[in-house]
Structure 1
Amino acid sequence: MTAAVFRKHFPALEQRVHLASCSIGARSSDLDDALLRMADDLSGNAWESFEREVLLARQGFAKLVGADEDQIALLPNASTGAYQAASTMEFGKRWKVVTTPVEFPSIAHVWLAQQPRGAEVVFTAEPEDYERFVDRRTRLVSVPLVSYQHGRRLPVERAVHAAEQVGAQVFVDAYQAVGVMPVDVSELDCDFLVAGASKYLPGLPGLAFLYVRDPELTDRVPQLTGWFGRVNPFAFDPTTLDFPGTASRFETGTPPVPACYAANAALGLIGALDLAEVRMHVLQLTELAASRLTGQGEQVHALPPERRGAHIGLVDPDPAALARGLASRDVTVSPRGDLVRISFHYYNNEEDVAALCDALDDVRSGR
């Protein structure tokens, strides 16, 4: 599917420029159709339809990242995925959790919450400096594939190698990568990977996917559970706590049904793409935007292409106010910290870059 054909699935982009996929994906006609179908399913055998959507979401994400469906758990958010992974670990003989200062706070907070259980959380001095901090005391290495604020593509391969040398496990947060670049769990060689279906997988908030390489090879069973974490959820036996041998043992209660419908719409769209081509398309747009904005006198935070995710940053003393100014001119961006994040997907084009530059010029001049 070409970028132009992909864009046609997002008719709202004819009226508004969407450069905020790092926060929330653009609305597609496929998403609309999926939610209408869910409403129709409510009038029939609703739960049978809902269970089908849950299964399809599990299978679709597994295919996207090169996993087996038995290695995928469906959870409400990435934070829960991180907690479930941490809850299966003992921090006795190995107690260090090595992470990075550019970790998404919600993930880092889960690691910090393990301190009463004996974990020592160590943040690397520099975002990519894992090798200096991983040693034989390390239980877990946590690394984002792409950082949420600056769009930094981290050296996951190096972090994995450092972990393997000492027998530590690796947790990868791929939320800012899945859907906009190739992601393969076998190539990453990680033990856990979490991603969601509301950003570059343009669905809805409320659903995250947790990949677990070896669901049964943990120190202990997941500590947060529910009826979907049972061998047979429909046994309805309150007296028996059993765990399947698959990643569904990490699941809890009733899945977020609307988000599953939305995720399947997104997975259908993204699954039809050549993600290597998507990656090149996005890098070209980020390069063009960085060049145009710098030429207008803006201070741009853009890493070299090989270290860049799908967004660049615009430095501004009041990012939220600038984002509101651009929104009033039909350009959606995403403020974070001292930056306005400007992110691109396969549905964006050079005209979007021109519209951003024109709108920004209007905001700066007070027009």
Structure 2
Amino acid sequence: MNRDDFHYPDAPYFLSHSVGLQPKTTRAVFDTAFDQGWRAGDHNVWDGWLSTIDNFKANLAGLIGAEANEICPQTNISSALTKLLFSLPREKSRRRIVMTQADFPTAGFVLKMAETFGCTLDFIESGPGLANPANWAAKLDDDVLLVFVTHVFSNLGLKTPVAEITAAARKAGAISVVDVAQSAGIVPIDVASWQADALVGTSIKYLCGGPGAGWMWANPALTTKCAPLDVGWFSHANPFEFDIHNFQYAPDAARFMGGTPNPAPFAMAANGIATIERTGVSAIHQHAQKLISHFADAWRGGEFISHITPGERGAGVIIKPQDTQESVNRLQCTGIGFDQRSGGIRLSFHLYNDENDIDALLNALA
């Protein structure tokens, strides 16, 4: 589709669910946006660095249909979710947090910390039923504080009906938080139609932005009710006031920022998003779905252990060949990029993959 825009390895690469490939323009952009001013001893280097962070927020806002001031850069999803969790308004009658057995473990580790203020975790069973909004609605009642929704599960391949789930959460008066780590950049996201309370995400996967550029989107209606504990001078309404006796939360998502930000990863991440946006997420999604269908229709060497139903899947699959170890050996010999999860071989598809990659994969698995 747009392979020439990326540093592509010699063999087919199916690991975008782990690390998206680097755009060819990233090194030059990083040099201009971060390194150049520092190297030159620019007295105003922080002006450029803060503009770099603003550029990241603006690019991401365009990608998900948000406003830039609703986005707060974070180191990673764990950090974002922790800041959000301990900032939430608490109600004595709401002591339950709903999530699933299929969520990425870091979310479970963070949300379990809610036990320190009296909440308990309530898990929905993993499996294809997670694509049915009724199974989520059945768990949501007036004792739920928060529902954590993974848009696309990394080890299931399943895409949840986020808009229906968040609607059920609103009806129950619960806060909804959506994890888009495995969907941002490959599956369309529209915060206006979802009406979630918050999103947490990363730039390292399908956004092709490298590590260290996590982020949070917070609905303004929720933000003004949140009182983060992990604060710093960039959480302040006026960071340059410099009055140690007067802290006031920023009126927007900046209240989740904390201390001095690191602009370096966001220079790379902003360029990754800009590269993705040149093609457009909808077009990339359609392309990836065609590649999955091509592979699913042609491969007959075993079974799919991930969710493969069109319309209910993300951009990855997990397969279990008849002889998994033999298949792993063949893939490794050809240099094809993959990893292993859930007892099978995990593969994902992005804009730089094409039909020739699928054919090479099929030949290696034959």
TM over 0.5: yes
> Counterpart in 1 of 2:61?
62
Partners of 2:149 and 2:332 in 1: CA distance: 33
1:2-55: per-residue Cα shift (whole Å, max 9, x none)?
A: x2xx21111424x23211101110122022222333332322333222111111
Q: Matches of residues 1-367 of structure 1 in structure 2 within 5 Å?
A: 3=1, 6-13=2-9, 15-37=10-32, 38-44=34-40, 45=42, 46-89=45-88, 90-126=90-126, 128=130, 129-214=135-220, 217=223, 219-293=225-299, 295=300, 297-301=301-305, 302-315=307-320, 326-361=331-366
Partners of 2:264 and 2:156 in 1: CA distance: 31
Aligned residue for 1:147, secondary structure, equals: coil
Structure 1 unaligned regions, length at least 5: 362-367
How far residue 253 of structure 1 moved from its aligned partner, in angstroms, is 2.3
How far residue 319 of structure 1 moved from its aligned partner, in angstroms, is 7.4
TM-score (norm 2): 0.90
Structure 2 unaligned regions, length at least 5: none
Aligned residues of 1:216 and 1:245 also touching (Cα < 8 A): no
Using a 3 Å threshold, how does the CA distance of structure 1 residues 101 and 174 change in structure 2: closer, same or farther? same
Aligned residues of 1:319 and 1:337 also touching (Cα < 8 A): no
Using a 3 Å threshold, how does the CA distance of structure 1 residues 318 and 122 change in structure 2: closer, same or farther? farther
Aligned residues of 1:196 and 1:208 also touching (Cα < 8 A): yes
Paired amino acid for 1:235? E
Aligned residues of 1:86 and 1:114 also touching (Cα < 8 A): yes
Partners of 2:168 and 2:323 in 1: CA distance: 39
Partners of 2:245 and 2:121 in 1: CA distance: 37
Partners of 2:74 and 2:221 in 1: CA distance: 15
1:128-157: per-residue Cα shift (whole Å, max 9, x none)?
A: 221111101111111111111121101212
Aligned residues of 1:27 and 1:202 also touching (Cα < 8 A): yes
Aligned residues of 1:25 and 1:203 also touching (Cα < 8 A): yes
Partners of 2:238 and 2:350 in 1: CA distance: 40
Aligned residues of 2:7 and 2:21 also touching (Cα < 8 A): no
Aligned residues of 1:136 and 1:167 also touching (Cα < 8 A): yes
Root-mean-square deviation over aligned CA pairs: 2.2
Paired amino acid for 1:39? D
Paired amino acid for 1:230? H
Using a 3 Å threshold, how does the CA distance of structure 1 residues 204 and 323 change in structure 2: closer, same or farther? farther
Paired amino acid for 2:170? E
Aligned residues of 2:16 and 2:206 also touching (Cα < 8 A): yes
TM-score (norm 1): 0.90
Partners of 1:318 and 1:143 in 2: CA distance: 34
Partners of 2:349 and 2:326 in 1: CA distance: 21
Partners of 1:155 and 1:40 in 2: CA distance: 44
Q: How many residues align?
A: 354
Partners of 1:217 and 1:240 in 2: CA distance: 20
Aligned residue for 2:26, secondary structure, equals: helix
How far residue 243 of structure 1 moved from its aligned partner, in angstroms, is 0.9
Aligned residue for 1:210, secondary structure, equals: strand
Aligned residues of 1:323 and 1:334 also touching (Cα < 8 A): no
Using a 3 Å threshold, how does the CA distance of structure 1 residues 309 and 239 change in structure 2: closer, same or farther? same
1:76-96: per-residue Cα shift (whole Å, max 9, x none)?
A: 001111112211221522111
Paired amino acid for 1:342? L
Using a 3 Å threshold, how does the CA distance of structure 1 residues 239 and 322 change in structure 2: closer, same or farther? farther
Aligned residue for 2:25, secondary structure, equals: helix
Partners of 1:321 and 1:73 in 2: CA distance: 45
Aligned residue for 1:331, secondary structure, equals: coil
> Which stretch has the larger CA shift, 267-276 or 34-43?
34-43
Partners of 1:107 and 1:335 in 2: CA distance: 21
Partners of 1:19 and 1:329 in 2: CA distance: 13
Paired amino acid for 1:133? K
Aligned residues of 1:88 and 1:218 also touching (Cα < 8 A): no
Partners of 1:93 and 1:285 in 2: CA distance: 48
Partners of 2:86 and 2:14 in 1: CA distance: 36
Using a 3 Å threshold, how does the CA distance of structure 1 residues 306 and 79 change in structure 2: closer, same or farther? same
Using a 3 Å threshold, how does the CA distance of structure 1 residues 169 and 360 change in structure 2: closer, same or farther? same
Aligned residue for 1:17, secondary structure, equals: coil
How far residue 189 of structure 1 moved from its aligned partner, in angstroms, is 1.1
1:292-344: per-residue Cα shift (whole Å, max 9, x none)?
A: 33x2x132234201111000112269979966763442211132232321000
Aligned residues of 1:319 and 1:336 also touching (Cα < 8 A): no
